[in-house]
């Protein structure tokens, strides 16, 4: 009788362990399936070569965003909106994330920020036949400088404009500012190399593009982040998932690989 009881007890323990193990596997599988079924909605403005419909992978940053989420088991898709609308929908929780923005006190009150997505080094573009040199901000006095609408720049630049030392002229697109540079309406255009180089390559003739160059002294190097509206109860979950995937892309070398491909022109529509 005692042997029968001990055997039954061992059998029950094995059965219990088996059931617990299968329950754990089921829960892990259920969480994984739930993550895969979740499609994270990301608003993005058109800022080539980073994000733009029609480019391969919709641009280099669009590819990085999608693959970072995939590394953590989430699918995502980009919705292209005008920048202000993209930001408002993110703030209201109508979408899960917004690509991409610098830090600001106003936005930090509304959004969670990812780890640094990327940084861009900005330079001053000018005409080759109008030599330009600068080392200090005072060297910019008297200049009319083109800036892109919706971008944030060093506060000192706006202070100089407010004090009448320089003139800032906003353009809705890099194309507008580069055209103004060619026609002499502005002296300089402040922007990272990726953006105007893409526009010069795709929207200007080789003769026009060859008239424009940039000064090698960097003006600033802002950092950009993916934003997650705090109103979304899953904002922290999505932010952390993105950060994990982004780290994998960096460590594997794919992050730099994708930027190199983009700069080679591999993501242009005719490729």
Q: How do the pLDDT tens digits run along the chain, 271 residues long?
A: 544 555 565 666 666 655 665 554 555 444 444 445 789 999 999 999 999 999 999 999 999 999 999 999 999 999 999 999 999 999 999 999 999 999 999 999 999 999 999 999 999 999 999 999 999 999 999 999 999 877 778 899 999 999 999 999 999 889 999 999 999 999 999 999 998 999 999 999 999 999 999 999 999 999 999 999 999 999 999 999 999 999 999 999 999 999 999 999 999 986 4
ω into 49 cis (within 30 of 0): yes
Residue 122, judged by CB atoms within 10 A of its CB (0-12, 13-18, 19+), counts as buried
d(CA 243, CA 251): 12
Domains, the chain, ordered by start: 38-119+223-264 (3.40.190.10), 122-214 (3.40.190.10)
Residue 110, judged by CB atoms within 10 A of its CB (0-12, 13-18, 19+), counts as middle
Q: Using the structure block, give the residue that is written with the tokens 């061992």.
A: 10
Query: Given this model, what pLDDT does residue 33 score?
Result: 47
Query: Given this model, what pLDDT does residue 28 score?
Result: 46
Please, which residues bridge with residue 188 across strands? Answer: 145
d(CA 120, CA 101): 12
Neighbouring C-beta atoms of residue 8, cutoff 10 Å: 10
Crossing angle of the two packed helices 60-71 and 235-252, in degrees rounded to 10: 110
d(CA 70, CA 75): 6
39-44 and 75-80 beta bridge pairing: parallel
């Amino acid at each position: 009788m005692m042997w029968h009881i001990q055997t039954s007890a061992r059998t029950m323990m094995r059965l219990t362990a088996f059931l617990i193990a299968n329950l754990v596997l089921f829960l892990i599988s259920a969480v994984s399936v739930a993550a895969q079924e979740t499609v994270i909605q990301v608003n993005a403005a058109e800022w080539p070569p980073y994000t733009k419909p029609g480019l391969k992978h919709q641009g280099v940053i669009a590819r990085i965003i999608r693959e970072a989420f995939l590394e953590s088991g989430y699918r995502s898709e980009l919705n292209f909106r005008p920048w202000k609308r993209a930001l408002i929908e993110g703030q209201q929780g109508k979408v899960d994330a917004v690509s991409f923005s610098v830090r600001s006190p106003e936005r930090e009150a509304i959004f969670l920020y990812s780890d640094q997505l990327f940084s861009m080094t900005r330079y001053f573009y000018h005409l080759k036949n109008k030599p330009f040199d600068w080392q200090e901000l005072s060297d910019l006095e008297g200049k009319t400088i083109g800036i892109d609408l919706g971008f944030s720049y060093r506060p000192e630049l706006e202070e100089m404009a407010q004090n009448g030392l320089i003139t800032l002229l906003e353009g809705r697109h890099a194309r507008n500012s580069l055209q103004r540079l060619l026609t002499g309406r502005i002296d300089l255009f402040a922007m990272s190399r990726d953006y105007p180089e893409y526009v010069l390559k795709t929207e200007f003739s080789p003769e026009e593009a060859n008239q424009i160059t940039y000064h090698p002294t960097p003006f600033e190097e802002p950092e950009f982040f993916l934003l997650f509206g705090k109103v979304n109860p899953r904002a922290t979950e999505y932010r952390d998932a993105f950060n994990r995937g982004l780290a994998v892309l960096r460590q594997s070398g794919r992050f730099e690989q994708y930027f190199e491909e983009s700069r080679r022109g591999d993501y242009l529509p005719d490729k």
